[in-house]
Amino acid sequence: MRSTIFPNIIKVRADPDLRAGLLKAAEEQRTTVSEVVRRELRSALAGRSPASPGDDPDPFRPAPGARIAA
């Protein structure tokens, strides 16, 4: 994973309902609120980002229509 140019601390104002939901999720997952936020942001951004050619899970798979060497 590449490092970012952003600082490690990002301050966000959260409504009381959001705060309560984050605390509840952290307790259910037995982790910190920061980890819950990190996971949710990562999954939300991954869902919005188009797949890039470097994201292929199997880079050694032959191209469609290519013959497999014997």
Contact 26, 36 (CB under 8 A): yes
- Check residue 15 and give its pLDDT: 92
Please write the tens of the pLDDT for every residue from 13-38. 889 999 999 999 999 999 999 899 98
3-state SS of the chain: helix, strand, coil percent to 5? 45, 0, 55
Tokens 């199997």 sit on residue: 58
Report how far residue 45's alpha carbon sits from residue 61's, in angstroms, rounded to the nearest whole number.
27
Report how far residue 26's alpha carbon sits from residue 16's, in angstroms, rounded to the nearest whole number.
15
Q: What is the pTM of this model?
A: 0.56
